[in-house]
Amino acid sequence: MSSQASIRKWGPHKLDAAIEQRLQRLAKAEGVARIAVMPDVHLAGDVCNGVVVASERLIYPQCIGRDIGCGYLTVRLREQHIDETIAARLLAGLYRAVPNCKRSVAVTPEFDIELSAAPLQKVFSREGRWQLGTLGRGNHFVELQRDQEEQLWLLIHSGSRAIGQAISAFHLRDAETDSASGLKFLDADSIAGEHLLNDLQWARQYAAANRLAMLDAIERDVLSKLDFDVHRNTMIHLDHNHVQRESFGERQFWVHRKGAQRLLTDQQSIIPGSMGTTTYAVAGRENEDALNSCSHGAGRSMSRKEAAKRIPSKTFRREMNGVWFDKRNSARLIDEAPSAYKNIREVMKSQRDLVRIVEKRRPVLNFKGR
């Protein structure tokens, strides 16, 4: 019987009982040595979002999540004034340039590895080729932001779309079940484990290519027509759903991150709040107690179902004051309202030993697919 993993937590409040229960169950999983809980932790399936898990040999797909490689791409734009007319043209252009489901033309990206199984290759041919350059739904978004010097930034948040979920489901079918935690695992040294790791890396490449394809389309079909120049040399591009081999002193672990970012010393990234609140540009502090990780956002304070039921439309409109978005989607966006998320200021205070704040950026225009 394996010993229980250590758990380190960052956050301003006592965690809900349901979160604690999942953490304690995770700590009993075979081969799990360390767990770091980020301040944006919240319920999401069998393993919470905002959790980092270090294991010695076993890979736990549920500790990565189904949207493998989900992440952020941000880049600075040439300064432009945005008024109501420009905002309307931007939103209309984004609807044309960034589909939420699939594109009208299939694309076959070139990666340095191939998917391990014919069924996954079929999913890629049927869906993945058509979804490259698409946003998806939920909390995925495109946003324009201004920093404290009034410079304009573009932020894209999306992942590996249907193919990432297919990869997760495919390998979970072959996984063993850990008796202590009930979670599924594969041995990294087995043939099945090697295939899993190959496909996880493929999905990360696909997710990164997806965000870059959206940037290309937005620049070509929207921004260039409105004289917004993209300064690609300012690009920051990181994901927050992955597993990779990392060293800590003389020990090596498979580090799983589900809704958490890896940041080494002075490495740059961003931590968004919500569609109506501040985004923080940050630099890493490489805190090994946190497995060199930080939060990927504010984290939900209530489920989507609860938010849709509890948050009045007038509250949502008030919270979005000063941010352009498609008001026709207001009813559908209630579950993404700022009040459905934790207070990003408190989240940032809780991880002062994980990241250094470089600057703040306020939302100007937010786009979510419908």
Residue 142, annotated as binding a ligand: yes
Residue 240, annotated as binding a ligand: yes
How many Å apart are CA 151 and CA 230, to the nearest integer?
A: 12
Active site residue 237: no
| SS (HEC) of the chain | CCCCCEEEECCCCCCCHHHHHHHHHHHCCCCEEEEEEEEEEECECECCEEEEEEECCEECHHHCCCCCCCEEEEEEECCCCCCHHHHHHHHHHHHHHCCCCCCCCCCCCCCCCCCCCHHHHHHHHHHHHHHCCCCCCCCCEEEEEEECCCCEEEEEEECCHHHHHHHHHHHHHHCEECCCCCCEEEECCCHHHHHHHHHHHHHHHHHHHHHHHHHHHHHHHHHHHHCCCEEEEEEEEEECEEEEEEEECCEEEEEEEECEEECCCCCEEEECCCCCCCEEEEEECCCHHHCCEEECCCCECCCHHHHHHHCCHHHHHHHCCCCECCHHHHHHHHHHCHHHECCHHHHHHHCCCCEEEEEEEEEEEEECCC
Residue 348, annotated as binding a ligand: no
Residue 299, annotated as binding a ligand: yes
Residue 81, annotated as binding a ligand: no
How many Å apart are CA 361 and CA 224, to the nearest integer?
A: 23
Residue 157, annotated as binding a ligand: yes
Residue 313, annotated as binding a ligand: no
Phi, psi of 304 (to 5 degrees): -60, -45
Q: Which residues of 116-149 are buried (b: 16+ CB within 10 A; e: fewer)?
A: bbeebeebbeebbbbbbbbbbebbbbbbbbbbee
Residue 143, annotated as binding a ligand: yes
How many Å apart are CA 286 and CA 293, to the nearest integer?
A: 7
The label of the residue with tokens 């007038």 reads 314
Residue 336, annotated as binding a ligand: no
How many Å apart are CA 75 and CA 144, to the nearest integer?
A: 10
Residue 274, annotated as binding a ligand: yes
Q: Which of 42, 195, 256, 296 is catalytic?
A: 296
Residue 123, annotated as binding a ligand: no
Q: Would you please indicate which residues are annotated as catalytic (active-site) residues?
A: 296
Q: Which residues are annotated as a binding site?
A: 139-143, 157, 240-241, 272-275, 296-299, 368
Q: Which residues are annotated as a binding site for GMP?
A: 139-143, 240-241, 272-275, 296-299, 368
Q: Which residues are annotated as a binding site for Mn(2+)?
A: 140, 157, 240
